[in-house]
Amino acid sequence: MQAEFEYRAFMDSEPSELVKALGKEKGVDKETKDATDLYAVRQDSDVLVKIRHQTGKAKKRGPVGTQDSIDELVDERAFMPVTMNWLCESLEQSMPSQCKSLCSVDEVARFLEGLGLKTADVSKKITHYTKDGVEVEVAEVEIDGQKKYTVSVQGMDRDAVKKRVEKLGIDKLGTKMNWAQAVRAYAK
């Protein structure tokens, strides 16, 4: 599996100057989409499980190392239905005595909440700006009804991600935090 690198920050207001700057750049591919995801996190780990309501895609995602404020991410994927074992292994929880497949996002949420994990539904209006293999994501998000904005820079090359963060001044926006930290901070 190839490493993926990310810098992510959350803020209370729209990063409108950044959006203007990205709109003026040449050679940028732009894609916009809406999504709703269930996030599940432990209190003591930044690795999370995310399941997209619309597609049933499941991910184990989170930082496994940080260098120069750029996170190296683990990114493992599955599809619904998912097994209790996959969820427990992904979140480093004790395995249930009985393993079964969970067929809906609601079933997954109930199971994970029963294990004492924090869950949150997150709605997103996402715009990706991709240039030279590096993606800048600007999103308006609602975490359990609380509106925030997030900006991330993602790619397979740590140095390219870092250069893009610095060039656009993204390291000066908001508070640097990954998704697990944001869910713990903003979810009810």
Of 3.30.300.180, 1.10.15.40, 3.40.640.10, 2.40.320.10, which CATH number belongs to 6-186?
2.40.320.10
Residues 6+ apart with CB under 8 A from 81: 101, 102, 103
Residue range 71-98: mean pLDDT, rounded: 92
Contact 186, 175 (CB under 8 A): no
Going by pLDDT thresholds of 50, 70 and 90, the confidence category of residue 99 is confident
CA distance 140 to 147: 7
Give this prediction's pTM: 0.92
φ, ψ of residue 147 to 5 degrees: the values are -80, 130
- Alpha helices for the chain (secondary structure H): 16-24, 84-90, 105-114, 158-168, 179-186
Sketch the domain layout of the chain as residue ranges.
6-186
pLDDT tens string 147-180: 999 999 999 999 999 999 999 999 999 999 999 9
Residue 2 has pLDDT above 90, yes or no: no
